[in-house]
Amino acid sequence: MLDPGESAPEITLTDHRGETVTVDPAAANHTVVYFYPRADTPGCTAEACGFRDEWDAFEDREIAVVGVSDDPVEDLEPFAAEYDLPFALLSDPDGAVAAAYDSYGEKSMFGNTFDGVFRNTYVLDGTGTVVLAYEGVSPEDHAVEILDDIDALDD
C-alpha cells in the first residue's frame, strides 16, 4: 500500500467510453481512486453504486471519483450504463497502474491462483499526495466512510 504523504503515481488510461483520461488531482479538492476486481460482480456493483448514491455529496465537496479495474473497456461501458454511474471507470488491462498503487498481484479463488486487482482505495489531495489509504475495502458503505474521513481531514 502507498502511505499517506507519498506522491501518487500518474494515471492515464482509457475510460468506459473509450476516451483517454488523465487523472488530474489539481482539478478537485480531493480525488478518490478506487481499485476493484471485476465489473458487474456483487461486491464491485455494491461499491460502485455506493459512490453513485452519494454522488451529490461528492460533488458538493468537489471530490472526483475514478474506478480502476483490469476489465477491458467493452466490459466497463455496459456496467457504467446499467447502474447509471456518474464517474469514470478506467481500464487497466495489464494491471500496470494498479501495480504502481500496490493494488495488483497474485490472488487465489476457488483453488485457482491468478493475477488481479485488489480492492484498495486512495484519496489524493490537490497536489497528488495520498492523504487516505484503504486496504482490502469492504464495499458496503465505503463511499460514506470516505466522505466522513475527508470531512475529518478538513476539521
> What is the CATH number for 27?
3.40.30.10
> Is 151 exposed, middle or buried (CB count within 10 Å of its CB: 0-12, 13-18, 19+)?
exposed
Q: How far apart are CA 142 and CA 148, in angstroms?
A: 10
Q: Which domain holds residue 105?
A: 12-153
Structural domain contains residue 43: yes
Domain count, the chain: 1
Structural domain contains residue 2: no
Structural domain contains residue 4: no
Residue 155: is its pLDDT beyond 70?
A: no
Work out the average pLDDT over 64-71: 98
What average pLDDT does the chain have?
95
Structural domain contains residue 121: yes
**142-153 and 42-53 are packed helices; what angle lies between their axes, rounded to 10 degrees?**
50
Structural domain contains residue 7: no
Per-residue pLDDT reduced to its tens digit, 73-126:
999 999 999 999 999 999 999 999 999 999 998 888 778 887 889 999 999 999
Structural domain contains residue 3: no
| Residues forming the active site | 44
Work out the average pLDDT over 16-25: 97
Structural domain contains residue 137: yes
Residue 38: is its pLDDT beyond 90?
A: yes
Structural domain contains residue 117: yes
Work out the average pLDDT over 46-59: 97
